Structure formats: structure tokens, C-alpha cells
Structure 1
């Protein structure tokens, strides 16, 4: 266990050495000394200190001035003041400014040791409280990012590392991998966590509106601009702005974002003056920005400004060992949200989950779980409840070679069932269970599609999301 550290600050060198020799064995801690307030601040910058013992009267920077700087920069640090008998009023002032205690000179050694032991105990309690708070913050930040795989452990480590900085982060990964959750975790673990978090779904906002949404506008800047409006960058001042799917924004918006990142200023539409903003930018994309740069669709200089601290979110295919954990998490989450009794997933459906390609990643898995909770008639969700067909002897029909352990006619029928379940399942997922739209995509008449769905036991209502 690391020894606790006491830093004594006094301009009397003889007293410093005397206190160091006498207090180290009696307190059982490491004692460091500083002969001025400036020297003490340098020590605090370099290494951790548990307790500060400060003389009230020193040249250049007195004890109260040092206390004020310590409270501003190290609010958790316990400070005990030393003062002469005639300076009790100053000692009381120090207590009001945040000092834990004061000791009058000349002091009795046993009284000093007792007082410092109490102060060290306070430091221990504060440290334990801070560690508990950090643990709670970590748990809350990562509660929606589920997984124990090596790839997810690297993601957690990267998030904790970048959260300590104020630099721009670019999160990449396929749709549905949780890029937005990673961004929220970065904000929750950062020094900006008590300030605004503003998320912007860039592709969802038309280009002609996105600029005014991001940067704001002044009255009269365009038709219908009847009053001033604050942009999202200003709303995120002192906090974090999340630019989701930034790879889809236009070159015009790209140029303006580059200026924000370079100069930390924005210019609202119709304004002649720039406005300073203090915002941490986190962006995400499921696009290959390198390819878009080569095609001239994305600015290379903007990419390098964004890609200061990159984080890659793994696809579900790359971490199948996390699927059982995700299934349990999603069941608990949506049972509470839907007010449904808890259900389990049948072993054969878990097998399908583990081997499915999941192009929509966690979001697709979540949709399947929701369908199962809504439509499974029993306490156990079966493959047919969510539009999958049961695997035969460990295989997924339509994915592997047909089994040779069954008659040809049965194997053919099983393969057809698997094909139709997979094909129509994909189409109905894309159309959210709308049979008419699905029929158009398939090139079939609606009635013909309904007959096939009935024949192979595929329920369109299992794919409806609302």
C-alpha cells in the first residue's frame, strides 16, 4: 500500500526539518517540505499529496493566498493552517475559506500529531468517497455498452483514455454498433459531464436547414427568420456536441465545421460577427471516409481534424461471445419498458443468434428481442416467434449444406423452409412487416406472398415495430 503524503509549507527551514524528522515516524507517512507557496504549488502539480500543513505568515505568498489557490485547483485536498497566538482572527478566516483545522504556535507535539491524524483520516474518507463516485460514474457511463469480449475491453479502455482529454474524437463502425452510446460514455466520464450534451443526427436534417441548426441565425437572415435563434453549437457551450453520421454532410457544412474545429468560433447566418464557443466535438460515421476523400466527397483536412482520437466500434459478428450478455440485457431493458413479464430465449434460438450475420448489429438484435417479447405466447421465445426457422441438428437451413441423415424429400422441404424464412424475414424486416411493400420488393402479388407466408408459418406481424 502506498504511503500517505504530508506536505509542510513554511519559510523557516529549521522548523521544516524538525517537523519532518518528528512527524514521519509518529504519523507513519511520507513528509515533504516546501519553503514557499510557489514551491508548494509546484509539488502539488508533480505528485499526489494527502494533507497540507501551511504556515499562515510567509513572504511573497501568505498562507491564505496559498489556501485560496489550493481550494481552486485541488478542492478535495485537506489543509491545516499553522498560526501564532495573535492571529486567531486569520485562522477563523482560513476555516471559512475551506481549511480543515488550525494549530497555534508554539504547539505541543502530541496535540499536533493528534490533529494531523484526524486530518489524514478525513483525507482517507474523501479519497474513498471520490473512488466510489468514480466507480458509480463508470458504471453509469458504460451501463448501456454491454460486452466482456477483448474487442469491447479495448473500447472501454479507449473511452476512459479519451474522456480525460478535451480533444476531438471520431467514432467509426457499422450502423447499430453503439457509436452514440460510446459518445455518451465519453461525455459522462469527462470534466464536461455536468454541462450540456447535444446530439445531432446530421443525415436526418436537410442541408439547407442543417447549417442554421448548427450555427444559428439572426433575424432577417432568410425568409421566415422572424427572430434570432441560437444554434446547437452555442447550446452545447462548455459541454459536448455529438455529430452523428458526419460522413454524410455536404462540402459547404464541412468547410464551416473545419473553421469551428480550427478557430473555436461560429458565425450565425446573417451575422457579421463570429461567436466563440467552448465545445468538445465527438463525431461518428459508418462510412469509409478514406474512400469518400478519394472520391472528393469529404475534405481531407476535416478528416484529420476529426480523427485526433479514433475509436472503432466492433460489429456483432466480431464479438459473438457477447451475444448472450446482450440478449439478457435487452430482455431486462424492454420487459421493464413494455411492462411485460420476463421471458427467456430458447437454446435453439440462441444458436441461431450466435451464427447469424447481424448486418444491423446490436440494433437489429434489439428489434428481434422486442418482437419476441411482444409476440411469443409462452415464457420462452422460440425461433418461429421472431421469424427464424428452427435449426436442424445444429445447422441453420439455407446457410449450411443439407443434412444427409434425412430423406431427400424432407431435406428439400427443410431447405425451402429455411430459404423462405431467411428471404421473407429480410424483406419483412426492411418493410417493418408491411406485406404490400414486401410484395412489391419481391415482385409478387400480395395474395401470392400471403399464401407463401402462411405455408411456411411466417408471421408478418412479428416484424411490425409500431
Structure 2
């Protein structure tokens, strides 16, 4: 199931409720002024069949239905579609039902009620689909990125807008003495000299605000800090890309300057 797309993508939502009138009302609110289209099923079994036959980006289900509850349906769905957004929308609201839903992997839980609840459901559905699409985009990008850099001899480091390390490949161990997992989530200051930390932070801030680059992104030399505390000079080239979930990311590809 491909949940990726852009603002013009039409997303299909499966509405599951044994009360056809309620299901039709949900569909009306979901489709009003959005890029959502809906299909309706009135039982859990029919919903599972629909999932096999159609490209569904989100499921909205009632809780109390004949032969199977919405949570039963959710548990069946999670076996084959672990990342598919699933919202439980039910008149039989209770903390126990909500707890069971979240424990079973529901994306969200909303009690039925006033018309405002239907508006809220539409908003939550749109958000759930967009977040799932963003995660899928990021996972695909990361898989492509991993395939490109896993076996390269160069050290690859990716940071976010706050200079937090988001990714580093295995080659960092040969260059800087760190196991890759040791740097995940750490500030970039970990591998640059303390005397340059402020300069780096200012350069990133200036670039984010104005687009001005303080160094040559095609290749420049910088001092780096080895895990043992010694300094070495590395040659590094930079690039930037943007994701819907993580914002702007910056990747540096580096090697020892004397190689």
C-alpha cells in the first residue's frame, strides 16, 4: 500500500460501520473539501476483503459490530499492514476501549457525538495519512541512501537543522574511531573541535535564514576530533535535501585530507 503522494494525491479511506447511515455521514464529512475519497463496508470480514482488492490509505472503524469488534479488525489488519493508519470512531466510548485500541496499534481513537466530532475525525484522518506518507517517503529515501553509502570507503554523516547527527555510516569507525551507533542522536560538536563549535552553529543559522554558504560545499578541509581526543584534518563535501517529516537534512561526505 503506497501512502506517498503530494497535495494533489487522492487518498482512499475505508469506512467500516454496521450502521450504513452513520458510515455515509462519516464519508460525507471526509470528502467535503478534501483530497479524500471513501469506500464503505459494514462488517470486519468485508473490510478485510476490501483491503486485499483496493489501494487503501487509512481505515476508520466502529467498535461494536456483529461477529467482530473494531479492535478484532485492527488486530487482523496489523498482521498484514503494520503501518496502515487506523482510527477507531465509536459511540461506545470508554477508557478501557481506548486503552485496548492504542495497545492493539490504533493510530487514533475518537468517540462519536456532535457534528464537531466528525470535523475532528476528518482532520485527524488527513493528518494520519500525511504522516504515514511522510514516514514512507523517509524510509524509502533512507533505504536508497543506505544502499549507496553502506560499502563506500568515505565517511558519511547526516545532521538535522539543529546539528544533531541523524545518520553515520560504518566508515566513521576507521576515520574517527567511533562505532556508528555511538554517534546517533549526538550533537555534531562531538566530532568537531570545541573552539569551532560556535562558528559552525552560526554558519548553519546564517544558511537557514539567508541561504548564504560560508564554505565551499563542493569540498573544503576541516579539523575533526577522533574518539581518542586527537585532531585530524578531513576533506569534506556537503549536500542538502528536505523531507516532510524531518525537515532539512545536511549530509557531509569526508575522508582524511592526506589520503
What's the TM-score, normalizing by structure 2? Answer: 0.51
Other-structure match for 1:295: none
Counterpart contact for 2:29–2:119, Cα < 8 Å = no
2:46 to 35, 39, 45: 39
- For the residue of structure 2 that corresponds to 1:103, the secondary structure is strand
Q: Measure the CA separation in 1 of the matches of 2:59 and 2:104.
A: 15
CA-CA distance at 1:85 after TM superposition: 4.2
Q: Measure the CA separation in 2 of the matches of 1:28 and 1:132.
A: 22
CA-CA distance at 1:145 after TM superposition: 9.0
Structure 1, unaligned runs of 5 or more:
147-334, 343-466
Counterpart contact for 2:85–2:132, Cα < 8 Å = no
Other-structure match for 1:51: 58
Is residue 64 of structure 1 aligned with residue 90 of structure 2? no
- For the residue of structure 1 that corresponds to 2:109, the secondary structure is strand
Alignment of 1:309-324 (within 5 A): none
C-alpha distance after superposition, 1:212-245 (max 9, x if no partner): xxxxxxxxxxxxxxxxxxxxxxxxxxxxxxxxxx
Other-structure match for 1:294: none
Other-structure match for 1:9: 16
Is residue 132 of structure 1 aligned with residue 135 of structure 2? no
Counterpart contact for 2:29–2:122, Cα < 8 Å = no
Q: Which structure has more helix as a fraction of its residues?
A: 1
Count of aligned pairs: 151
More contact order relative to length (CA 8 Å, sep ≥ 6): 2
CA-CA distance at 1:45 after TM superposition: 1.9
Other-structure match for 1:341: 258
1:76 to 72, 76, 83: 83
Alignment of 1:61-460 (within 5 A): 61-85=68-92, 87-105=94-112, 107-143=113-149, 336=255, 341=258
Other-structure match for 1:18: 25
Q: Which structure has more strand as a fraction of its residues?
A: 2
Counterpart contact for 2:61–2:87, Cα < 8 Å = yes
CA-CA distance at 1:33 after TM superposition: 0.8
CA-CA distance at 1:108 after TM superposition: 1.7
CA-CA distance at 1:81 after TM superposition: 1.0
Q: Measure the CA separation in 2 of the matches of 1:123 and 1:24.
A: 14
Structure 2, unaligned runs of 5 or more:
1-7, 153-253
Q: Please report the RMSD computed on the Cα atoms of aligned residues, expressed in angstroms.
A: 2.6
CA-CA distance at 1:111 after TM superposition: 2.3
- For the residue of structure 1 that corresponds to 2:32, the secondary structure is helix
C-alpha distance after superposition, 1:257-304 (max 9, x if no partner): xxxxxxxxxxxxxxxxxxxxxxxxxxxxxxxxxxxxxxxxxxxxxxxx
C-alpha distance after superposition, 1:90-132 (max 9, x if no partner): 2321122221222223x22222222331232132122212212
C-alpha distance after superposition, 1:16-75 (max 9, x if no partner): 223323431144410111111111112222233222110101112221110111222211
